[in-house]
Every structure is written in structure tokens, then in C-alpha cells.
Amino acid sequence: SEKLYTASPGLVNGLQARTFGVWTLLSSVIRCLCAIDIRNRTLYYITLFTFFLALVHFLSEVFIYHTAALTIGIMAPLMVASFSILGMLIGLQYLEVEALSQNKKKN
């Protein structure tokens, strides 16, 4: 949290830092589970949502709440979230094509 919320570090306390840490851990567990079971559509959408949530969070901290400055500490998660969303949206098309081909094989 010290490297992210550099614009107003006085607004971040220990409880918020720990909550952010738990949220990051939960997101990483969801993302790892999706990587293991990539064909699980529900898990895929939940994982995609975690990246959207991260992107909205970091953008709001920079542009709405002004608690984070556009430093490398905030740019890194913004780039990871953005590229991950893009990659998952592209991957979603392949996931849907695969589901359609499996349905044709069953019929």
C-alpha cells in the first residue's frame, strides 16, 4: 500500500492495507483456479470480473479520490489489469468456439 497510495499516504492505515492484501490474495486464488480449469465458463467470467474490479479500483484512486499518483507503483497493476482484460476477452471467443464445436460433436 505504501507504493500505491503515494499521493495521500496519511489516508491509508494498517486495516486498509491488510484488507487490500486479503483482496489481492483472494483475486490471485481465483485467477490460479481459472488457470487450472480454463474451460469453466463461470470461473472464467469471475476471473475476468476481478480484473475489471482491479482496473476500476486503481483508476478511481488516481482520478477520483486522488490517493494514488501515476507512478510505476500504480502503472504496473493498471497495465496488468488492462492487458489481462484484453487477453481474456480474446480468449473468451475461443472458449465459446470450443463450446460450440463440442455441442456439434454431441449431436
Q: Is the dihedral of CA 20, 80, 65, 30 positive or negative?
A: negative
Q: What is the pLDDT of residues 49-80, one digit of tens each?
A: 999 999 999 999 999 999 999 999 999 999 99
Q: Residue 68 in contact with residue 58, Cβ under 8 Å? A: yes
The residue ranges of every structural domain in the chain are 14-106
Helix, strand, coil distribution of the chain in percent, nearest 5? 80, 0, 20
Residue in the structure block whose three cell numbers are 486495516: 15
Q: Nearest 5°: phi and psi at 53?
A: -60, -45
- For residue 107, the model assigns a pLDDT of 63
* pLDDT at 89 exceeding the cut of 80: yes
* pLDDT at 44 exceeding the cut of 80: yes
Mean pLDDT of 78-85: 98
What's the pTM value of the predicted model, to 2 decimals?
Answer: 0.87
